[in-house]
């Protein structure tokens, strides 16, 4: 499952959907808005996305990771819009028979997402605004 959403998400609900009889591991990564960047206090973050392309690329990453690491399923949720400090940005949840494959797949997904998916972050502080590389 892949979602690009404006509102917050429930980690518990996602994990419930991934639990099945043959699953021995659930691994999650949750990215949150941090209050400091490059030594400066951040007030909020704005996330922009090209939805059609982002969805397509996230699906490709998801399918590749499922096959490459032999995991059961992967859920990816990424938010967009204005987010406050400590709010959730992204959730990657991987279900697998064994933990090592789940950890590897989760790390692969976040690394590929950061490299290829058209999602941009802008940080706002008292000193102005800055796009995150």
Question: Residue 90 to residues 11, 59, 86, 97, 126: CA-CA distances in angstroms?
Answer: 10, 15, 12, 23, 25
pLDDT for 40 beyond 90: no
pLDDT for 39 beyond 90: no
For the stretch 82-103, pLDDT in tens is 999 999 999 999 999 999 999 9
pLDDT at 133: 78
- CA–CA gap between residue 95 and residue 101 (Å, rounded): 9
Provide the pLDDT confidence category of residue 127 given band limits of 50, 70 and 90: confident
The alpha carbon of residue 85 and the mean position of all alpha carbons in its chain are separated, in whole angstroms, by: 16
Q: How is the chain split into domains, by residue range?
A: 2-126
Rounded to two decimals, the pTM is: 0.93
Return the closest-CA partner of residue 72 out of 106, 111, 29: 106
Tokens of 63: 């399918």
CATH class for domain 2-126?
alpha beta
- CA–CA gap between residue 96 and residue 25 (Å, rounded): 5
What's the average model confidence in pLDDT over 42-47?
95
């Amino acid at each position: 499952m892949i979602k690009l959403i404006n509102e917050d998400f429930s980690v518990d609900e996602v994990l419930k959907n991934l639990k099945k009889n043959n699953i021995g591991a659930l691994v999650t990564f949750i990215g949150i808005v941090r209050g400091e960047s490059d030594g400066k206090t951040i007030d909020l973050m704005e996330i922009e996305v090209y939805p059609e392309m982002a969805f397509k690329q996230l699906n490709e990453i998801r399918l590749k990771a499922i096959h490459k690491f032999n995991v059961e399923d992967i859920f990816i949720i990424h938010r967009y819009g204005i987010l406050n400090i400590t709010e959730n940005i992204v959730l990657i949840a991987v279900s697998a028979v064994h933990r090592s494959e789940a950890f590897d797949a989760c790390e692969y997904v976040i690394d590929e997402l950061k490299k290829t998916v058209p999602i941009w972050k802008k940080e706002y502080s008292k000193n102005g605004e800055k796009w995150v590389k």
